[in-house]
Amino acid sequence: MSKEPTHEDASGTWLKKGIEFQSSGRHSEALESFDHGLLLNPKDADAWNLRGLALAAQNRFENALESFSKAVSMDQRHPDAWYNKGMVLCALERYEEAVWSFEKALEINPQNAHAWHNKGVALSRLGLNTEAKFAFSCAGWIGVHGGH
């Protein structure tokens, strides 16, 4: 006996399509797929995060920031959304906010070498070289010792 498909099932189908489009560099089509999925399940933090990635890939950083912000409002413990938000904030040269986003990502996953590295980049842009050096050394240590 099979169950009736739910909105979440249909939403997941749209997200899978979007990921396929995104992987092949078809960012506009990915965005459309993520939007369809969000129509069915607007509280899906992963979908908001993926939508932000599709927008960022099109250099639509302000729109991407809105999507990442929506993702973290849906799930405060979403390390990828916090990390991606930090990356977009760096692209917008909003380094203080970027540092804060990377710190949120690192609270959830302190083994994320990329978050440590990019926190270091943002800190160095702010002229906080001692703090940046520490972040870079954390990234290096994790990279050598098997972090992400």
* CATH code, domain carrying 93: 1.25.40.10
Tokens 């540092």 — which residue?
A: 99
Instruction: DSSP for 61-97, please give it.
Output: HHHHHHHHHHHHHH-TT-HHHHHHHHHHHHHTT-HHH
Largest distance between two CA atoms of the chain: 63
pLDDT in tens, 65-88: 999 999 999 999 999 999 999 999
**pLDDT reported for residue 123:** 98
| C-alpha gyration radius of the chain | 17
Of the candidates 31, 41, 48, the one whose C-alpha atom is nearest the C-alpha of residue 10 is: 41
Mean pLDDT of the chain: 93
Tell me 146's DSSP state. T
For residues 63 and 107, membership in a common domain is answered with no
**pLDDT reported for residue 21:** 97
Residue 3 reports pLDDT greater than 60: no
Q: Count how many domains the chain has.
A: 2
Do 90 and 122 contact (CB within 8 A), yes or no?
Answer: yes
Last residue of a domain, one of 56, 75, 94: 75
Share of the chain above pLDDT 90, in %: 88
For residues 96 and 139, membership in a common domain is answered with yes
For residues 85 and 33, membership in a common domain is answered with no
For residues 35 and 51, membership in a common domain is answered with yes
For residues 86 and 143, membership in a common domain is answered with yes
CB neighbourhood size of 79 (10 A): 19
Confidence of residue 55 (pLDDT cuts 50, 70, 90): very high
Identify the residue with better confidence: 65 or 148: 65
